[in-house]
Amino acid sequence: MFKDLFSLQGRIAVVTGGSRGIGKMIAAGFLAQGAAKVYITARKAGPCEATAKELSVAYAGECIALPIDISTMAGIDMLAAEIKKREPKLDILVNNAGAAWGAEFDEFPESGWDKVMNLNLKTPFFLTKALAAPLRAAASARRPGKVINIASIDGIFVNPMETYSYAASKSGLIHLTRRMAAKLIADHIVVTAIAPGPFKSDMNKAARDNSDEVATRVPSGRIGTDEDMAGTAIFLASRAGDYVVGATIAVDGGIVYANPGIKGDGWD
């Protein structure tokens, strides 16, 4: 009964923003658990292709680079068309691609609002919509399709860093996850979200470059590892997570729930 609980054997996945950071952790985790193909996207072709080659060598499954900028509707449509051309069915979509912008309240620019809101909130909705047909084609009551949105703990608590559009977009993504989950479960598509705390990434340079110092402010005493992020994504993507619908899981070492509210430092 429990033998293949966390297996992703033979499944097809798309991970946006999969060339580095959290996206790469998730792509690697899926391949390690038997995924047949993992498509990764990134704006820059070089890093995207390099990661795809690295992961394809490391695991039995195939990692395929699709270097497409999905911050616009044209890019979203291009990615969806490419996936549909290659795959009649899609088992897993991870909406991970994101951006951040920091500026003081009185100086915060419209460009910093629009760029972040478009990629972090608009893109997950319209990409999921664009890929609904292959997701529905793969989904069944026995083996639901999966959409996993990568939010942030900044969408749960108030981070004192002045990243207004980032916090708003991630909070919106958490609620969008609930709304899409309520709609798509009828099609046997399970929608969930992960809210990461500090992990090493280009977006979280503090955790990347000063992990020991950041770790002192995490209740668990450390920053997140590749295994922490991959493990949560594997749980949600596999049979183990089939009955988890609309939930957002904070993967943060206890930051949010050990001391909720306004913090003295930025975490994500």
> pLDDT digits over 59-72, tens only?
999 999 999 999 99
Other C-beta atoms within 10 Å of 231: how many? 16
Which CATH fold topology does 12-256 show? Rossmann fold (3.40.50)
Token pair listed for 166: 């980032």
Interval 143-168 mean pLDDT: 95
Residue with tokens 């969008």: 176
Q: Kindly indicate the confidence band of residue 204, based on its pLDDT and cuts at 50, 70 and 90.
A: low
Mean pLDDT over residues 23-43, rounded?
Answer: 98
What span, in angstroms and rounded, lies between the C-alpha atoms of 209 and 19?
19
Would you list the domain boundaries of the chain?
12-256
Does the pLDDT at position 30 exceed 90? yes
- Region 167-177: mean pLDDT is 98
pLDDT band at 205 (very low <50, low <70, confident <90, very high): low
Strands 12-15 and 37-41: parallel
Q: How many CA atoms lie within 13 A of 169 on its CB side?
A: 27
What whole-number distance in Å separates Cα of residue 207 and Cα of residue 267?
8
Q: What is the pLDDT of residue 208?
A: 56
Q: Which of 39, 59, 166, 257 is catalytic?
A: 166
When pLDDT is cut at 50, 70 and 90, the band that residue 55 belongs to is: very high
Under the banding of pLDDT at 50, 70 and 90, the label for residue 268 is very low
**pTM, two decimal places:** 0.94
pLDDT exceeds cutoff 50 at 267: no
Mean pLDDT lowest among 130-144, 188-202, 210-224, 247-261: 210-224
Q: What are phi and psi of 14, to 5 degrees?
A: -120, 130
Residue 50, pLDDT score: 98
Is 166 one of the catalytic residues?
yes
At 110, is the pLDDT very low, low, confident or very high (cuts 50, 70, 90)?
very high
